[in-house]
């Protein structure tokens, strides 16, 4: 899906996504990603929401975003609640949604100059 938005901030923007890929600032990435205004981890090994672990959450906490958008893949699924509790304990807000909605929400929050980070599970090509 091609995304259109008014880019009034600098940083990493998701310009499109589809089965098996994301396009961030016109660069195609075929893996799950962690993305924020100034961070892009494009070789993130998580392929399902169950792959999220404390190490991944700690990478987010280290960067101190005000909110984290978790894109759970092609369907809305929640990760282990203990992992989300780590974000709460660090006083970081979060929302969990399907990856498509997460891409769109991330871009909106970026356009509002919010300190947002997205943990995006790639939508499998088989969907």
Mean pLDDT by 10 residues, the chain (127 residues): 54 94 94 95 90 92 96 91 95 96 96 95 82
Q: Could you tell me the two tokens for 4?
A: 């259109």
Across the chain, the runs of DSSP E, i.e. the strands, are 14-18, 21-24, 27-29, 32-36, 40-44, 67-71, 93-97, 116-120
CATH number corresponding to 14-120: 3.40.1230.10
* pLDDT for 38: 94
Q: Could you tell me the two tokens for 11?
A: 């940083």
Please give the Cα distance from 39 to 78 (Å, whole number): 24
Q: Could you tell me the two tokens for 19?
A: 């089965």
* pLDDT for 16: 94
Domain boundaries, the chain: 14-120
* pLDDT for 40: 96
């Amino acid at each position: 899906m091609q995304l259109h938005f008014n880019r009034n901030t600098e940083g990493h923007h998701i310009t499109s996504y589809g089965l098996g890929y994301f396009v961030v600032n016109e660069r195609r990435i075929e893996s799950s990603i962690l993305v924020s205004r100034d961070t892009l981890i494009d070789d993130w090994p998580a392929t399902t929401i169950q792959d999220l672990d404390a190490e991944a959450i700690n990478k987010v906490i280290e960067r101190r975003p005000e909110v984290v958008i978790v894109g759970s893949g092609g369907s809305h699924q929640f990760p282990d609640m203990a992992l989300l509790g780590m974000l709460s304990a660090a006083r970081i807000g979060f929302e969990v949604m399907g990856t498509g909605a997460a891409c769109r929400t991330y871009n909106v929050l970026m356009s509002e100059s919010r300190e947002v980070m997205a943990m995006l599970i790639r939508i499998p090509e088989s969907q």
